[in-house]
């Protein structure tokens, strides 16, 4: 029987799952951020929100509502890792978690507002799932706290031929300046303690076929070749036999 089809097959999975920790998404270039600023004085807070800043006569910042696919309250992280925030100007946020950006903005806004409150959400959490899954392709999640199992669920789960003991995760590393590849064993409950248990923006999951599927594909390929060559050989013999009879 196959041994690579059960998730978290060992016996201590409840203890392992209880120890899983989520540190939050790290903001990347190209991310679309929705940022809402609130405070006790509703009039004073208007210049700091894209949806209300036009009422104050301030110049535009962030992204305008005329851009296709972008709402009037979204900020795009540019190639420099910054967003253009009303009044505050350029704010570096690449590599930060949402909580870190929230705290940074609140600290800056205290110069202008009393007890400002900032809410940051990611509008385009995208990832891709490839290989032995029922619905491969790029996926978008409304849930930013997305773990490996939830990501596979959005792809319809692995097929019967998917190897759960050697799933590849491809993630861009800012430190190395390139994609890194990590092998993950989802049959082990300890996977929940992995730093790769929760997905980051633009992660790629690849579920490779198990050995039986790989052997089967190679065997079928060889059989197809023999059938093709056999057909050609039989055709030649038939032609020779026909010519010799004449």
Local confidence band at 20 (pLDDT 50, 70, 90 cut-offs): low
3-state secondary structure of 181: strand
The arithmetic mean of pLDDT across residues 127-151, rounded, is 93
The arithmetic mean of pLDDT across residues 89-115, rounded, is 95
CA distance 129 to 167: 11
Dihedral, CA of residue 113, residue 26, residue 141 and residue 152, to nearest 10: -160
The pLDDT of residue 61: 52
pLDDT digits (tens, 9 = 90+) for 169-178: 999 887 788 8
pLDDT digits (tens, 9 = 90+) for 186-239: 988 888 889 899 999 999 999 999 876 656 555 555 556 666 666 666 666 666
Q: Which has more pLDDT, 108 or 20?
A: 108
Q: Which helix (H) or strand (E) holds 89?
A: strand 89-92
The arithmetic mean of pLDDT across residues 81-108, rounded, is 96
Give the CA count within 13 Å in the CB-facing half-sphere of 150.
14
**Please, are residues 205 and 191 in contact by the beta-carbon 8 Å criterion?**
no
The pLDDT of residue 68: 44
Give the CA count within 13 Å in the CB-facing half-sphere of 137.
7
Taking the model in full, what pTM does it have? Answer: 0.69
Under 8 Å CB-to-CB from 209, ≥6 apart: which residues? 131, 132, 161, 162, 163, 217
Give the CA count within 13 Å in the CB-facing half-sphere of 105.
30
DSSP assignment letter at 25:
P
Average pLDDT value over all residues in the chain: 81
pLDDT digits (tens, 9 = 90+) for 53-87: 766 554 445 554 444 444 457 999 999 999 999 99
* SS3 of 108-158: HHCCCCCCCEEEEEECCEEEEEEECECCCEEEEECCCCCEHHHHHHHCCCE
The pLDDT of residue 12: 58
CA distance 60 to 169: 39
Residue 241 has pLDDT above 70, yes or no: no
The arithmetic mean of pLDDT across residues 88-116, rounded, is 95
């Amino acid at each position: 029987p196959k041994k690579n089809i059960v998730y978290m097959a060992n016996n201590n999975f409840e203890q392992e799952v209880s120890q899983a920790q989520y540190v939050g998404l790290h903001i990347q270039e190209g991310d679309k951020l929705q940022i809402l600023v609130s405070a006790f004085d509703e009039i004073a807070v208007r210049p700091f929100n894209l949806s209300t800043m036009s009422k104050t006569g301030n110049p535009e910042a962030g992204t305008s509502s005329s851009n296709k696919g972008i709402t009037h309250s979204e900020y795009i992280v540019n190639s420099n890792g910054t967003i253009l925030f009303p009044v505050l100007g350029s704010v570096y946020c690449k590599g930060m978690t949402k909580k870190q950006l929230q705290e940074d903005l609140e600290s800056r806004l205290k110069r202008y507002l009393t007890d400002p409150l900032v809410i940051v959400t990611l509008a385009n959490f995208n990832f891709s799932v490839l290989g032995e899954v029922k619905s491969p392709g790029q996926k978008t999640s409304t849930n930013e706290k997305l773990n490996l199992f939830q990501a596979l669920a959005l792809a319809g789960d692995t097929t019967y031929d998917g190897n759960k003991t050697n799933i590849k995760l491809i993630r861009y590393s800012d430190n190395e300046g390139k994609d890194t590849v990590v092998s993950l064993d989802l049959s082990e409950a300890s996977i929940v303690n992995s730093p790769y248990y929760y997905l980051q923006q633009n992660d790629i999951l690849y579920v490779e076929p198990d050995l039986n599927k790989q052997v089967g594909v190679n065997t079928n390929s060889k059989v197809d070749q023999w059938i093709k060559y056999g057909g050609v050989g039989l055709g030649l013999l038939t032609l020779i036999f026909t010519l010799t009879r004449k």
